[in-house]
């Protein structure tokens, strides 16, 4: 089998050829059909996150080191199972939950494996989906997606799940309160579709790119703004009942400042994006404005199951996808880094024709 891996941080992906995996214990081997390409893959290839102020979070110091097979939006068919995996349904099409924890800490026991301090995530600590086959440690991480378009379903494991989990944190009255989504790329598009399905009736979207603002308007945003426009903040401050919540899918000092300045008293700010930077906060203003600040990191297994059910029930397609062959993984990464991807690039393997979606 072939896998496309980071063999040195900051360098292009390399093609590795090795024996096909043989599952042990509860392991399940999934033959890849689709794998989404995510901005997190870019951070992982570089080997660090920008924390602002000249500081970096080194991934090597957190147990992530080459060779590293990227890819955590994994969809495929069950090819083989270990002797302790039970009946898994060979040939069944499944979406893989990649945010796997240690399995024994209180976070994992409470169903919050994505928050485990000793995570063993696919595409981060374990080999991920930029490969022809993927080893999943237990069948409980497999979600049936028969009947769903595979290119549209693969990004549910990260892009869709991240948007869904963040939306569940905003609180308030979705039928009445205004919600701001900062960033109209793949995550923002997913969040807009999901917000409607969850009953949010007043949704504003902000993005500095004209084409992304146009896309958000075409997808039905009630208000579309350019955060670089000085009038944008005033437009949010004039909203009836004020801005109740904002989700930042970019995560820079500029986007955070824009959202925080526009929130009404008692508002909630949820940060998802990790493009980097830092902000200065006046501590007295937090209680005086009664603000709630929260980070949201992907989502848990239960949320992914709920998300797939929601997508089925509403017939949703969360984000525009472009499907390209797995062998073009490096090209897909370069395009994503260059900012030329409108929605989500999805890598394909297993004989499916490449196409735009």
Report the pLDDT averaged over residues 113-123. 93
Instruction: Please write down the HEC assignment for all residues of 205-219.
Output: EECCCHHHHHHHHHC
With cut-offs at 50, 70 and 90, classify the pLDDT of residue 355: very low
Same domain, 126 and 166: no
- DSSP character at residue 11: S
- Give one DSSP letter per residue of 281-300, joined into a string: --TTHHHHHT-EEEE--S--
> For 261-306, how does the pLDDT look when each residue is reduced to its tens digit (9 = 90+)?
999 999 999 999 988 888 888 999 999 999 999 999 999 999 999 9
Same domain, 6 and 147: yes
Phi and psi at residue 171, to the nearest 5°: 65, -160
Same domain, 138 and 225: no
Same domain, 138 and 9: yes
Question: Which range of residues forms the domain containing residue 263?
Answer: 161-295
Residue where a domain stops, chosen among 295, 326, 345: 295
Its sign, for the CA torsion 28, 34, 40, 41, is: positive
Same domain, 127 and 138: yes
On the question of pLDDT at 52 being above 70, the answer is yes
> For 163-209, how does the pLDDT look when each residue is reduced to its tens digit (9 = 90+)?
999 999 999 999 999 999 999 988 999 999 999 999 999 999 999 99
On the question of pLDDT at 133 being above 60, the answer is yes
Same domain, 63 and 202: no
- Give one DSSP letter per residue of 86-118, joined into a string: ----TT-EEEEP-----SSSHHHHTT-GGG-TT
> For 292-342, how does the pLDDT look when each residue is reduced to its tens digit (9 = 90+)?
999 999 999 999 999 999 999 999 999 889 999 999 999 999 999 888 787
With cut-offs at 50, 70 and 90, classify the pLDDT of residue 356: very low
pLDDT at 351: 56
Same domain, 217 and 233: yes
Domain count, the chain: 2
Those residues with Cβ within 8 angstroms of residue 230's Cβ, 6 or more apart along the chain or in another chain: none
pLDDT at 350: 79
Residue where a domain stops, chosen among 263, 280, 295: 295
pLDDT at 354: 42
On the question of pLDDT at 87 being above 60, the answer is yes
Q: For the domain that residue 142 is a member of, what is the CATH number?
A: 3.90.180.10
Query: Residue 317 and residue 153: Cα distance in Å, rounded?
Result: 8
With cut-offs at 50, 70 and 90, classify the pLDDT of residue 156: very high
Residue where a domain stops, chosen among 295, 314, 338: 295
Q: For the domain that residue 276 is a member of, what is the CATH number?
A: 3.40.50.720
**Cross-strand pairs, 36:** 73, 346
> For 211-241, how does the pLDDT look when each residue is reduced to its tens digit (9 = 90+)?
999 999 999 999 999 999 999 999 999 999 9
Same domain, 236 and 287: yes
Three-state DSSP at 317 gives coil
Cis status of the peptide bond prior to 294, with omega within 30 of 0? no
Token pair in block for residue 144: 């049936």
Same domain, 97 and 183: no
Place of tokens 């400042």: 257
Same domain, 169 and 247: yes
pLDDT at 353: 42
- Give one DSSP letter per residue of 299-310, joined into a string: --HHHHHHHHHH
Same domain, 152 and 203: no
pLDDT at 299: 97
Same domain, 21 and 94: yes
Report the share of the chain in percent with pLDDT over 70.
Answer: 98
On the question of pLDDT at 51 being above 80, the answer is no
Q: What b/e readout covers 148-176, taking b as 16+ CB neighbours within 10 angstroms?
A: bebbbbbbbbbbbbbbbbbbeebebebee
Judge whether 72 and 121 are in contact, CB under 8 Å.
yes
């Amino acid at each position: 089998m072939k896998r496309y891996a980071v063999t040195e941080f900051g360098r292009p992906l390399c093609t590795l050829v090795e024996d096909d995996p043989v599952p042990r214990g509860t392991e399940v081997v999934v033959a890849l059909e689709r794998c989404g390409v995510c901005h997190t893959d870019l951070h992982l290839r570089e080997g660090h996150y920008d924390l602002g102020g000249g500081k970096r979070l080194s991934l090597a110091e957190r147990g992530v080191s080459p060779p590293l097979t990227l890819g955590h939006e994994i969809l495929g068919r069950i090819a083989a199972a270990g002797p302790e995996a039970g009946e898994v349904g060979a040939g069944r099409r499944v979406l893989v939950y990649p945010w796997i924890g240690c399995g024994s800490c209180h976070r994992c026991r409470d169903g919050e494996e994505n928050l485990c301090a000793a995570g063993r995530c696919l595409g981060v600590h374990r080999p991920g989906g930029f490969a022809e086959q993927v080893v999943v440690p237990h069948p409980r991480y497999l979600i049936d997606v028969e009947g769903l378009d595979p290119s549209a379903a693969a990004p549910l494991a990260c892009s869709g799940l991240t948007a869904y989990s963040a939306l569940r944190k905003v609180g308030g009255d979705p039928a009445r309160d205004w919600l701001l989504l900062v960033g109209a790329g793949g995550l923002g598009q997913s969040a807009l579709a999901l917000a409607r399905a969850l009953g949010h009736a007043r949704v504003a979207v902000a993005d500095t790119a004209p084409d992304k603002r146009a896309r958000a308007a075409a997808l039905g945003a009630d208000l579309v703004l350019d955060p670089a426009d000085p009038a944008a903040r005033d437009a949010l401050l004039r909203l009836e009942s004020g801005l109740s919540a904002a989700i930042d899918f970019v995560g820079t000092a500029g986007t955070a400042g824009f959202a925080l300045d526009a929130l009404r008293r008692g508002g909630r700010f949820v940060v998802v994006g990790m493009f980097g930077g830092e902000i200065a906060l006046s501590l007295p203003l937090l209680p005086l404005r009664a603000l709630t600040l929260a980070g949201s990191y992907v989502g848990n297994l239960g949320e992914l199951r709920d998300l797939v059910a929601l997508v089925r029930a509403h017939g949703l397609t969360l984000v525009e996808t472009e499907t390209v062959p797995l062998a073009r993984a490096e090209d897909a990464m370069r395009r994503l880094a260059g900012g030329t991807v409108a929605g989500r690039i999805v890598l394909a393997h297993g004989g499916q024709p490449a196409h735009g979606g």
